[in-house]
């Protein structure tokens, strides 16, 4: 690979992205990783943001073919955490140094938008902390209720940019609906995160190139890119796991296409490779999302088996992470790690004396 043509990545040129993803010989891929590491350093710096993730319910009304939480998996014992339990975990995490709490669940209608809003509001009262939601597809007005309570960010991966594959993997659902949700969230002022899975059936390098182009088109603030891991109680039980190296290449190219995005070292990658976190951090990633769910629930949140997050310490392990980062010449961020672009916008609004969105929520 004789140098990278950054102009072609700005458009972005899907054929060119696919060509980079095909980088095959060792030295070609290594030069891609070095380049994305440099771009990461120049655009988002050496700080790594940690976000504590609480998996508060494993009930799901959807039936995604790849996921262990799917509705039709009758072998899974289901649980829901109470608001008080969620607040207690958040409080400990904040005391331990976390500045972002991520609330994730299956698509569980048991929690109304107002229920989620009340939980967000209580977490925001615990300190200067950002709240990210990852609770699936809801209506514009439900998202508005969550935003008004102070939720800052929303993660909703598009999963695959191929509409036919999307339909096959998500019975009764469409990629367009997913994209509409992301647009709604953006309109409401959320920092948005999308992302996709590497190694889905019939996916090609061109599909992945379209995934990356879609991230650019959606102008995402964050993107999660992880390999598929088969779960024995799903229709994709015998489909092979995604390729670690291709995942790293997709991460690296995404860093080149979206220099200022927040890109996590995903848990799925660490599950497939012992050194996944370090490899991702050296290939463009700048975020880590440790699992802070109480251990008794964590093992039931089985999206895929043997998740690396099962061994994340319950107290959040901030000190160990700081040591690991130091050994890599990186450092733990002390900020909330808001979107680089949005941060500039909100500083501007403050300077103009504009009021924040939060307020008016009944307890
Ligand atoms: N229900 C919410 C959030 C929880 S699922 C939602 O779907 O948005 C979080 C992510 O887990 C999904 O976005 C999907 O990309 C990932 N996931 C599910 N099953 C997986 C598997 N078998 N291998 C890898 N990633 C998987
Ligand atoms: Fe439910 Fe999310 Fe799993 Fe799909 S990926 S089955 S929506 S938890």
Mutate to test the pocket of ligand 2, among 70, 110, 175, 197 (most ligand atoms within 8 A of CB): 70
pTM beyond cutoff 0.85: yes
Mean of the pLDDT values across residues 327-338? 96
Which three-class secondary structure state does DSSP give residue 194? strand
Residue owning tokens 């102070």 = 150
Backbone angles phi and psi of 22, in degrees to 5? -80, -10
**Pairing of the two strands 331-332 and 47-50:** parallel
CA of 226, nearest ligand number: 1
Asked if residue 251 has a cis previous peptide bond (ω within 30° of 0), the answer is: no
Mean of the pLDDT values across residues 179-201? 98
Mutate to test the pocket of ligand 1, among 182, 197, 302 (most ligand atoms within 8 A of CB): 197
CA of 154, nearest ligand number: 1
Instruction: Provide the pLDDT for residue 348.
Output: 46
Residue 65 and residue 168 in contact, taking contact as beta carbons nearer than 8 Å? yes
Which three-class secondary structure state does DSSP give residue 235? coil
Distance 26 CA to ligand 1 centre (A): 30
Instruction: Provide the pLDDT for residue 26.
Output: 83
Q: How confident is the model at residue 357 (pLDDT cuts 50, 70, 90)?
A: very low
């Amino acid at each position: 690979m004789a140098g990278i043509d950054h102009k072609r990545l700005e458009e972005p040129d899907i054929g060119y992205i696919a060509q980079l993803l095909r980088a095959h010989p060792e030295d070609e891929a290594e030069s891609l990783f070095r380049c994305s590491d440099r771009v990461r350093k120049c655009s988002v710096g050496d700080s790594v943001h940690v976000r504590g993730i609480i998996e508060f319910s494993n009930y799901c009304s959807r039936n995604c073919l790849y996921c262990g939480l799917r509705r039709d998996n009758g072998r899974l014992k289901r649980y829901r955490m109470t608001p008080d339990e969620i607040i207690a975990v958040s409080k400990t995490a904040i005391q331990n140094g976390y500045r972002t709490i991520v609330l994730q669940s299956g698509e569980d209608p048991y929690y109304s938008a107002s229920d989620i809003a009340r939980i967000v509001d209580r977490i925001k009262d615990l300190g200067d902390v950002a709240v990210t939601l990852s609770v699936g597809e809801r209506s514009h007005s439900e998202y508005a209720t969550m935003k008004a309570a102070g939720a800052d960010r929303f993660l909703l991966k598009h999963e695959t940019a191929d509409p036919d594959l999307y339909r096959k993997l998500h019975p009764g659902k469409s990629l367009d609906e997913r994209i509409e949700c992301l647009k709604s969230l953006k309109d409401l002022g959320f920092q948005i995160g999308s992302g996709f899975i590497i190694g889905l059936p019939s996916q090609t390098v061109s599909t992945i190139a379209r995934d990356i182009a879609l991230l650019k088109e959606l102008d995402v603030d964050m993107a999660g890119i992880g390999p598929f891991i088969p779960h024995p109680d799903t229709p994709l039980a015998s489909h092979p796991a995604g390729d670690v190296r291709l995942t790293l290449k997709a991460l690296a190219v995404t860093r080149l296409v979206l220099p200022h995005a927040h890109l996590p070292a995903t848990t799925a990658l660490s599950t497939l490779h012992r050194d996944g976190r370090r490899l991702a951090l050296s290939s463009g990633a700048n975020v880590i999302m440790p699992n802070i769910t109480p251990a008794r629930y964590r093992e039931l949140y089985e999206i895929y088996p043997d998740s690396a997050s099962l061994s994340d310490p319950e107290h959040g392990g901030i000190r160990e992470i700081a040591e690991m980062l130091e050994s890599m010449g990186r450092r733990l961020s002390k900020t909330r790690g808001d979107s680089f672009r949005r941060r500039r916008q909100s500083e501007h609004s403050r300077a103009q004396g504009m009021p924040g969105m939060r307020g008016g929520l009944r307890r």
